[in-house]
Structure 1
Amino acid sequence: MSAPLVVSIPHSLGREEATRRLKAGLSRAAASIPVLKVDEERWEESRMIFRLRALGQAASGHLDVADDHVRLEVTLPWLLQRFAEAAQVAIRNRGHLLLGKRS
């Protein structure tokens, strides 16, 4: 089994507001990526457990929301590991958009 892909995104929103924004924004984010299909998205307090498919490959992981950061951990199949670096950048960019301060 390979090491999971881990992305940590800092924020200054507090746990409740960050969770609210992520719950509202994750479905929209996944819908904007044509090769990505979310099979499961389940929230347990401030943790989201998910399963998804990309390029016909299944991946699973979880997202933990803390007071000052969000930590995403996902285990990728070998084929998707080739895209791990690009995925990290995309996840971090989308996370900053969802968790950034709004005026």
Structure 2
Amino acid sequence: MATPIIISVPHQLGRAEARRRIEAGFAKIINLLPGSSGVRSERWDGDRLIFSVAALGQTVSGVIDVLDAAVVMEIELPGVLRVIAGSLKERLQKMGQLLLTRK
């Protein structure tokens, strides 16, 4: 099994507001995956979102933990998607920062 992509995005929103923004913006996060054809499963366990998504005919799975001062994403990329891990990590980091910037 490959090492997952791990992204930590600090925030100053508090846990409840950060979770609300992740819930509202989850589709934007998923759309960053190339060839994404939609969410296969998505469920919250406390402040942890557990998901799997179809992308380029493969299943991408991961978790998003909403903490008091950060949101941590851990995403497993299968097969050919591992090749784009670096650029995907940068795009996910930027999207996370956009979602969690105080407005």
Q: Distance in 1 between matches of 2:3 and 2:92?
A: 17
- Structure 1 residue 34: Cα displacement: 6.9
Opposite residue 7 of structure 1, the aligned amino acid is I
Gaps of 5+ in 1: none
Residues 28/7 of structure 1: CA separation in 2 closer, same or farther (3 Å cut): closer
Opposite residue 35 of structure 1, the aligned amino acid is G
Report what 2:80 is aligned to: 79
Q: Distance in 1 between matches of 2:82 and 2:62?
A: 14
Conserved 8 A contact 2:65-2:71: yes
Report what 2:97 is aligned to: 96
- Structure 1 residue 63: Cα displacement: 0.6
Q: Distance in 2 between matches of 1:31 and 1:54?
A: 10
Residues 34/61 of structure 1: CA separation in 2 closer, same or farther (3 Å cut): closer
Aligned length: 102
Residues 79/32 of structure 1: CA separation in 2 closer, same or farther (3 Å cut): closer
Residues 19/12 of structure 1: CA separation in 2 closer, same or farther (3 Å cut): same
**Please, what TM-score do these two structures have when normalized by structure 1?**
0.90
Residues 86/32 of structure 1: CA separation in 2 closer, same or farther (3 Å cut): closer
Residues 53/45 of structure 1: CA separation in 2 closer, same or farther (3 Å cut): same
Report what 1:45 is aligned to: 46
Q: Distance in 1 between matches of 2:4 and 2:32?
A: 24
What root-mean-square deviation, in Å, do the aligned CA atoms of Structure 1 and Structure 2 show? 1.6
**Please, what TM-score do these two structures have when normalized by structure 2?**
0.90
1:16-41 Cα shifts (integer Å, max 9, x gaps): 11001111111244357672121111
Conserved 8 A contact 2:8-2:73: yes
